[in-house]
Every structure is written in C-alpha cells, then in structure tokens.
Amino acid sequence: MKKFCFFLLICFSLNCYLAKAQQIDRTSVKDSLTNYSAYKRKLTFAGVLQTRYLLSLNKDVDISGKNFDGTLSKGISNTFMIRRARVMVKGDINDHFSANILANLADFSSDPTNKVLENAYIRYSLNKYFHVQAGQFRPFFGIEDAISVDIIRTLDFSNQYYAFGKNGWQSFQTGLSVFGNIIPDGKLRYFAGVYNGNNKNKPSDDNNTKNYYGRLEADLLKNVTVGVNAGSGSMAASGVGKAYGADASAKIPLSKKFDLLLMTEFKTGANFLAYNADKQPVRPDLSEYQMRGFYFFPTLRYNHESKRLRAIEFSCRYEYFDENYKVQSNPRQTFIPNVSLIFADDFYAAIQCGVAIDRFKNQIPLTTAYNNSLGYVQLQIRF
C-alpha cells in the first residue's frame, strides 16, 4: 500500500508539472465562473440488451458444454435466454467529479447473490494526465478491459478473461485506480491500481493482502496499439501470486469499403481457485498452479453504409487456454466463426450468428471438459 501511495504521489506531482507547462484555452464563460459546483452537470442513461438462442450440436452435451449420460438423464440441448440486460447511469457532478453505476438485470433470472451490481465508482478527473476512481470497476488488466462492456463482437469475451476474472485479476473488482496520458498527444498511457481481489459485491476483502496492477499502453503506429500488464495479488489464504500479459490491436484499411481488425493477447497468472480447492495433505506451492492463455481475433469488416445496413463483419476467434498447465494440464482450444449484421453505427443494433467449437486435449466424461460445438444466434441493442 505504501508503494502505491508513493506512486500516486509521483503521478500527481508529474501531473501538476505538465498542467503548468501546458497552455489551456479557457472560454470567457468559464473564466467568469466563481462557483464550479454545477459546471457541466448532467445525468445520462445508457444500456445494452442482449438476447440469444443456443443450440448444442453434439449428442449428450448440454448448452453449457457439459457431457451427460443420455441413458440416465436428458440435458437441455437448446434454449432462448437473456444474457445481458445492463442499465448504466452516469452523473457528472461538475467538470472534475462524476459517478457511474452499472447493473445487469439479467442476473435476477438466476441466483443474484454477488451479482447484478457491476460498476459502482466515483471518478475525479483533473485533466488528461490524471484520473482517479474509487469503488467497484474493471481494472485495466488487458485489452478486453479497455473495450466497453456493452460491445460484444462475438459470442462473448475470451475464456481467459472469465478465468482471470474468477481469480481476482480482472473483471469487476473493488478498490482504487489511477490512469491517464504520459505524453501530451496521448500515444503513451498508464494505468495502475490497488483493489481487494476477491471479486465483486463482497462486503470486505477476504484477507489483508491487496492486489496491485499496472499497465502501459502505446500507439506505436497509426491504428496500432500495444499494451503490457503486470499484477500481484492473493485470494483467501492462498499466498501472493503474480500475473503478466501483453496484447496488441490494429485496424488496417484494405480499401474504401473493407477494414481488417486484429486483436491478440497473451496472459499467464496464478490460479488461486485451483490452489485453494486442492485439499491433499501436501500440495505444491502456489507457483505451480498457473493459468496460461493466448487468442487471436481477426475481423474483416465490410462497410456497406446503406440507410439500414451499416456494416457486415466476418470473424473467427481462435483461443488456446490451459487453466492449470503445471499441475493438471488439459489445454482447451476454441474456435468461434461469427457473422455480424450491424444495423446502427457503433454496434447500437446488431444480429450475430456463429458456432463456438471447443476441443480439449483430454476429454473428461460427465464434465464441461468435453468436446462440444454450440450454435448461436443473438441480437444486441445498445441505447
């Protein structure tokens, strides 16, 4: 905690220096203000609704990917479902302070314990070099955290995103973070934070050790961004573990109508859940319980730009993920070919269809570690 406070002090001092060096254009209206309490105050609402139809394409495998004995039971092989029904409220108190609340109402369809509330934070923005937020939010620990939570370009986020989220490395966590530009043109950015690391909607931390993370992000070329991440943390009585990652994204114009979008990421980190679940009398050290994953996500976008159909995207994400590659390795490979018809700019209305194909090195009957293919059609609306 002392190291983080020291880092925060350095960022604030650097920010003050840059703010003095930078010439700021002030309008006559702003210069005449004597009370900034309600300057630029506003309240905005937004959200996303995502519905889908799922169909298992394998015999004796249900929609969750779990194998079942067809002679003893009958699994659910197809269903309609609401995946996300998010509502976001953002309140700008003035030009420096704001609050953000995001809730997923779809979680009420199952046990809502420790669900529903996702974002709940207060942000202070001094200028483009220094922002600080406190509450529940997604730590910037990978490229998928930098993407808006209401833009899903395929069936879902990556397998590694959800596994790292369950282990407290990313997804929604409670704590404090700072971020901003390092240089004036914004081509080099920093992110850092400290948080509990025991996931969302918990009344308090589950130990006295906090999680720390840092990320540097740079625009190396036009439309090419790379990032590196590092983190340290724990969960319950697991001890302290580490996590690292690197990612890159690019947008390559191929012609007036076609763009190629590329995204790739690699991450490795401690699997606290596997370590804590191992009840053998003598178990290996935490450093032996490690996750490791990589994915490549190319998307060919055709900018149709008609009055109704704005674009068509063709993609196929490939992912390799091993949830415990040192102690009990069983790599999972996932292929998701997908077609998206976009009827409103910026994914405000889209229909998507595709197949999620999972292949495991070792199939385990009567579990989700079993080869399966899941067909889907989903409609998502942002508002």
Q: Considering the domain boundaries, does residue 211 fall inside one? A: yes
Tell me: the pLDDT tens digits for 34-54? 899 999 999 999 999 999 999
Say yes or no to pLDDT of 18 above 50. no
Specify the pLDDT at position 25.
45
pLDDT at 224 over 60: yes
The mean pLDDT of the chain is 90
Q: What is the pLDDT of residues 275-332, one digit of tens each?
A: 999 988 888 999 999 999 999 999 999 999 999 999 999 999 999 999 999 999 999 9
Residues linked to residue 218 through DSSP beta bridges, in sequence order: 188, 226
Q: Average pLDDT of 229-237?
A: 94
So what's the pLDDT on residue 4? Answer: 47
Contacts of 279 (CB under 8 A, 6+ apart): none
Closest Cα to residue 260, out of 334, 313, 181? 313
- Is the pLDDT at 116 greater than 70? The verdict is yes
- 228 CA to centre of own chain: 15
State how far the Cα of 238 lies from the Cα of 221, in Å rounded to an integer: 41
| pLDDT higher than threshold 80 for residue 64 | yes
Over 60: is that where the pLDDT of 19 sits?
no
CATH of the domain at 364: 2.40.160.10
Across 112-116, 212-216, 297-301, 310-314, least confident range = 112-116
Residue 258 lies in a domain: yes
Higher-confidence residue of 190 and 281: namely 190
d(CA 6, CA 14): 12
Q: 66 to each of 58, 72, 131, 163, 312, how far by Cα in Å?
A: 10, 14, 44, 17, 32
Question: Residue 153 sits in which domain range?
Answer: 41-382
Question: Within a domain: residue 28?
Answer: no
Q: Which helix (H) or strand (E) covers residue 48, if one does? A: strand 42-56
Please indicate whether residue 312 or residue 186 has the higher confidence score (pLDDT).
Answer: 312
Q: Using DSSP, state whether 152 is helix, strand or coil.
A: coil
Q: Hey, what's the torsion of the CAs at 84, 277, 200, 172, to 10 degrees?
A: -70
Rounded to whole angstroms, the Cα distance separating 96 from 231 reads: 29
Instruction: For residue 1, tell me if it sits in a domain.
Output: no
How many domains is the chain built from?
Answer: 1
Structural domain contains residue 19: no
> For residues 60 and 76, is the Cβ–Cβ distance under 8 A?
no
Q: How confident is the model at residue 1 (pLDDT cuts 50, 70, 90)?
A: low
Residue 373, in any domain of the structure: yes
What percent of the chain is modeled with pLDDT above 70?
92
Query: What pLDDT was estimated at residue 78?
Result: 96
Pick from 27-31, 237-241, 361-365: least confident: 27-31
Q: What is the pLDDT of residues 80-100, one digit of tens each?
A: 999 999 999 999 999 999 999
For residue 23, pLDDT over 50 is answered with no
Q: Which whole number is the average pLDDT over 235-258?
A: 94
- Residue 6 within a domain: no
Q: For 156-176, write each residue's pLDDT tens digit.
A: 999 999 999 999 999 999 999
pLDDT above 60 for 14: no
Per-residue confidence band for 26, with pLDDT thresholds at 50, 70 and 90: very low
Residue 361 CA to residue 44 CA, distance in Å, equals 48
Q: Judge whether 308 lies within some domain.
A: yes
pLDDT for residue 117: 94
